[in-house]
Chain A
Amino acid sequence: MECFDEDARLMLRYRDGDVEAFSTLYSRHKGPLYRYLLRQVRNAGAAADLFQDVWWRLIATRGRYEARAKFATYLFHIAHNCTIDFFRRDLKTQHAAPPDDADAQDSEPEVPEYQRPDRIAEFIEQQSALLAALGALPREQRETFLLHEETGLTIEEIARVTDVGLETAKSRLRYAIRKLKKSLAAVQIPASQPLRTRGSLKDTFVNGPA
């Protein structure tokens, strides 16, 4: 709570003209925000664009900021909206998007990017088994997991950030955890071992998580 209060105070100071407060705020949240965006859209260029967009919006709307919740919920709610806009612009994603329903959370991943041969090689070279399994999750589940891991937000706060009910957020996180564990168990490698040491993992990428 102390940290959240401090961030909110920093944002209030920046709203009132203290530029140095923003620098501190930025240094605290830039890493989690960037990783959240990068692992959501899985494209460094798009992540960089979204990263700027999020901060632009935060700066542009600073005059309306009120410390009614954790600053992270405010920041990542903007990030959530930016990623939603991004995926809406992507026609492939739009066609493959699953219904935003907790009952359909275990459907196939909506972003088949990992099925493209060029992307497969890239993932194998760059990602660990965990990140690859994370990338294969449905977007909503992946987002819930990332929000919790990167920001430490509670289920209630994640629900607020993603504009869903508490049970939906909880269900998404539960399924995300389950699938990640199953994916890691399926490849039968130590949790921290890089994926590129396991050639058989290519099938996992192509066919999606078991």
Chain B
Amino acid sequence: MDPPDMGLPDRDPPDDLDEYLRGDSALSRQYRRESAPAPPHALDRRVLKASREAQGPSPQAQGDLQRARGASPRAQDGSPQAQGGSPYLAPLAFAASVLLSVALVLAIVFGPPAARVDNAPRVIRVAAHAEASPNAPLDRKLRLYSSDPKPARAPSVWLADIAALRRAGRNSEADEQLRRFRVAYPDYSTGDLASRP
């Protein structure tokens, strides 16, 4: 057993290191006979791809080569996978674009109708009795303007209208209004309005 390093002199003879540095030592020859592992091809592809991508848009030479190949920049990789896959990328991309476009058109034409904003005018019934024309029939006014199923007119007003119809000799209209008044206010006394003059 050799003595440990600690027991060795501090310096080797100068020719030992010099011999090695000349490159013709037995140690160097032996090291060069060792196996020389290389990085996996996947690493090669990744590094070379990164080197291209780092340069941004491909230079003119690369662009020419890509156009000649009709392939994506991955074809520059030099790897079997990249060279085998890239010729199919462009047709696949084109086919996918066409398929999506057709699907979109079909969905628009034959798909379920989308919810639309209804701009059709609608009648909104509001109470506007005061603004109604005094010449319009009362029942019509009520039907058109009243949002309340019950008569909105006050009983005394309604009875006053009926009395006015009597005085004007429009008894048939007064009778009809009176009939409706009684339907609307069955417990309200109508006085002598029921009798014609």
Contacts and interface: CB of A to CB of B under 8 A. Distances in A.
Given A19-B59, A31-B36, A52-B46, A130 B51 contact: no
Contact of B11 (A18, A152, A173, A174): A174
Interface stretch (A55-63, A65-73, A90-98): A55-63
Contact count band on A: 35 or more
B16 to A, nearest CB: 7
B189 interface: no
Contacts of A154: 21
A111 B147 CA distance: 94
Interface string B67-90: 000000000101000000000000
B17 A177 contact: yes
26 contacts: A19-B62, A19-B76, A23-B51, A26-B48, A30-B38, A30-B47, A48-B43, A51-B39, A51-B47, A52-B46, A55-B50, A55-B51, A59-B51, A106-B8, A128-B34, A130-B30, A154-B21, A155-B21, A170-B17, A173-B17, A175-B5, A177-B27, A178-B16, A182-B2, A185-B2, A210-B1
A160 interface: no
B20 interface: yes
Central interface residue in A18, A22, A60, A155, by most chain B CB within 10 Å: A22
Given A48-B39, A192-B30, A22 B5 contact: no
B6 interface: yes
Contacts of A122: none
A56 B48 CA distance: 10
B61 interface: yes
Contact of B5 (A149, A155, A179): A179
A77 interface: no
Contacts of B44: 26, 30
A74 B38 CA distance: 21
Nearest to A186: B2
Nearest to A44: B37
A210 B4 contact: yes
Contact of B51 (A22, A106, A170): A22
A20 B61 CA distance: 10
A175 B62 CA distance: 49
A60 B8 contact: no
Contact of A210 (B2, B31, B39): B2
Contacts of A59: 50-51, 54
Contacts of A173: 17, 20
B40 interface: yes
Given A48-B40, A192-B30, A17 B55 contact: yes
A78 interface: no
B52 interface: yes
B35 to A, nearest CB: 8
B140 interface: no
B126 to A, nearest CB: 74
A62 B115 CA distance: 57
Given A19-B62, A179-B5, A174 B31 contact: no
Contact of A34 (B28, B39, B51, B78): B39
A182 B8 CA distance: 12
B12 interface: yes
B82 to A, nearest CB: 13
Nearest to B33: A192
Contacts of B78: 23
